Homo-oligomer: A and B are copies of this chain.
């Protein structure tokens, strides 16, 4: 029996984690990609809980950076960055519910070199930027175009090949009345750039609007903790997710579950606030669903909580805090 059969999604969601109808969102059916997470765009697809959707995602630059001689700052047109598939309307979802999204697969698509990463002026974790604003001169721009396959990974240079460890960089639901840039992560998900949002994981997302309005995009072929220069191994993919609905489970922030752990995800600046959010959510989760009193949970996480840094470059930094199932067991298990 797979861990998934014991997952919260499989136990509590409307479709009990069983895959139902299959859909796809191709470049053609998506039409115009989306650059904000909000309620002001018409859904590109309406689905039932349990439905499976295969999305043709673009890379974060919508394919505009084609050559290593390209200048990202000349080509890119803020705020039209980080194109998203969606929104997907999930029937029955209402404010206060939870969307459960099982990531089934991510595979690269398109002609090689399919991967792109770049250095841009005034963007990244170790350079002056729009928020941590310095007077220092910028680094020079640089573009790397990379051969990426699911089988062999990413060929960095003739000595180094990185394994293919794909994940969804940006995924979330619509805020209730706001429309937020797809560059931003927040309580509804968004641009978390957290490598655990990977195949064989379930992400749980708060529903803020009727239909939830799910967006996703920005898949990475691999990424280090923090997404240091701000641009991971960006690549277009077919990303397949199974979407389910947990009625009445009201989350303040996204959560995630995989075979090994339960995780809560916080996004904020400074970085310690992201950690506080994630760990407070995890503390409260242990208290609510795992039989701890809150202070016990706080003390236990001190001894065995784990932290994954998603990004240290986006408008908010993202951290996941987790605890192993081998320590706390499974909910209801």
Contact = CB atoms under 8 A, between A and B. Distances in A.
Nearest to A180: B178
Looking at chain A, what size class is its interface with the partner chain?
A: 35 or more
The residue among A154, A156, A233 with the most chain B CB atoms within 10 A of its own CB is A156
Contacts of A80: 177
A180 B36 CA distance: 11
A131 B277 CA distance: 6
Contacts of A124: 298
A79 B176 contact: yes
A285 interface: no
A280 B133 contact: yes
Contact of A36 (B119, B178, B299, B309): B178
B232 A303 contact: yes
Interface string A309-333: 1001000010001000001110000
Contacts of A144: 299
B303 A154 contact: yes
Contacts of A225: 305-307, 321
Given A135-B283, A270-B270, A295-B140, A224 B79 contact: no
29 contacts: A38-B178, A40-B179, A125-B272, A125-B275, A125-B276, A126-B135, A127-B134, A127-B136, A128-B134, A132-B273, A132-B276, A133-B276, A133-B277, A134-B276, A135-B139, A136-B137, A136-B139, A154-B303, A162-B327, A180-B180, A222-B303, A223-B303, A224-B302, A224-B304, A224-B305, A226-B279, A228-B298, A269-B269, A272-B312
Given A299-B117, A302-B117, A226 B178 contact: no
A35 interface: yes
